[in-house]
């Protein structure tokens, strides 16, 4: 069976596929047009998909009826039409667990960077504008004993909550589709309604899987209900927030700061005025960007395709119903 990988991944994953007897194809250049991408998909049996610029929708599956399995090099699968994949009996692998710590590290980093205006002050230093001591200039805020609200308390959200509890003794509240008994027991986390999450959080951090019906859920009406000292963190998907509304909320001091590893649109325009605000830190979607996490993702993605090639269930499958 032939595997198409649209971008190079850590060698450990490629070696695993080849050692399992699979034929691996990686294009010489990675900035593929959609037509180029489709032509490669049509000439292979399976895909190890890196990035989310192309959609696996009805049109794709109609054009590529040869595709038997897809392994995503990500946890999120919002660019895949799962219902369509199920109807065609195509398993979709993903990479949960292996990047939970790394991604939560970035959320934790953003929370502290925003709280202490680190990006703004670093830019001052680079510009040679160290300045004299000013007791009132660009003050940050402390996080000790404050309330962390988690939207989507799964694996990554749990790691973020655990760090925040241990470091700053933060109170944990969360909103989920289902209650998280483990978090309630270990972290004394409290399940609340969405409105309570928004109004009670000093830091509100998004860690949910994105669904289309949640597009720009965090908009002006939500930011209006947040605390004036609130810090908004998004390391999940940029589609969760309306970026113009977020800028307005920050510029008008309706909320205090924002830390983003994902933006809307992504990549962010360099002219976006949100980048000029002193209480904002933006990173270029680096949540899983550690050697350990990226190697783990490569291994799990390879394991998913190897299992399929042997007629076995994928160890991490985003659409387990396909096996019914």
Distances 195 to 7, 210, 222, 231 between C-alpha atoms, Å = 41, 19, 8, 16
Structure tokens at 221: 């009406």
CA-nearest of 157, 164, 225 to 197 is: 225
DSSP state of 320: G
Residues annotated as part of the active site: 237, 266, 285
3-state secondary structure of 297: helix
CA 35 to centroid of chain Cα atoms: 27
Burial bucket for residue 47 (CB in 10 Å: 0-12, 13-18, 19+)? buried
Identify which of 87, 37, 69 has the alpha carbon closest to the alpha carbon of residue 316.
Answer: 69
Other Cβ atoms less than 10 A from the Cβ of 92: the count is 25
Report the chain's terminal Cα–Cα distance, integer Å: 24
Peptide bond preceding 265: is omega within 30 degrees of 0, i.e. cis? yes
Backbone angles phi, psi at 323, to 5 degrees: -85, -5
């Amino acid at each position: 069976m032939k595997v198409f990988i649209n971008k190079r991944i850590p060698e450990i994953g490629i070696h695993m596929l080849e050692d399992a007897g699979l034929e691996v194809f990686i294009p010489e250049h990675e900035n593929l047009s959609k037509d180029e991408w489709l032509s490669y998909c049509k000439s292979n049996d399976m895909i190890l998909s890196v990035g989310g610029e192309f959609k696996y929708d009805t049109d794709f599956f109609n054009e590529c009826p040869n595709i038997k399995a897809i392994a995503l090099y990500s946890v999120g699968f919002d660019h895949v039409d799962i219902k369509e994949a199920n109807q065609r009996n195509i398993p979709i692998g993903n990479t949960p667990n292996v990047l939970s710590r790394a991604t939560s590290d970035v959320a934790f980093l953003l929370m502290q960077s925003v709280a202490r205006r680190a990006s703004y002050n670093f830019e001052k230093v680079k510009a040679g504008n160290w300045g004299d001591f000013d007791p009132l200039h660009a003050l940050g805020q402390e996080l000790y004993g404050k309330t962390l609200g988690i939207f989507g308390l799964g694996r990554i959200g749990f790691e973020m909550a655990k760090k925040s509890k241990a470091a700053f003794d933060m109170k944990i509240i969360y909103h989920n589709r289902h209650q998280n008994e483990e978090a309630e027991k270990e972290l004394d986390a409290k399940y609340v309604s969405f409105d309570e999450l928004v109004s009670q959080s000093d830091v509100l951090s998004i860690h949910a899987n994105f669904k289309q019906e949640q597009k720009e859920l965090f908009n002006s009406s939500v930011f209006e209900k947040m605390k004036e000292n609130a810090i908004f963190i998004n390391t999940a998907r940029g589609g969760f927030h309306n970026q113009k509304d977020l800028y307005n909320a920050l510029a008008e001091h309706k909320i205090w700061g924002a830390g983003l590893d994902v933006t809307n649109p992504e990549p962010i325009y360099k002219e976006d005025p949100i980048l000029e605000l002193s209480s904002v830190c933006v990173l270029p979607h680096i949540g899983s960007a550690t050697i350990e996490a990226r190697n783990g993702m490569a291994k799990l993605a390879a394991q998913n395709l190897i299992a399929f090639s042997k007629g076995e269930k994928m160890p991490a499958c985003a659409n387990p119903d396909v096996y019914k």
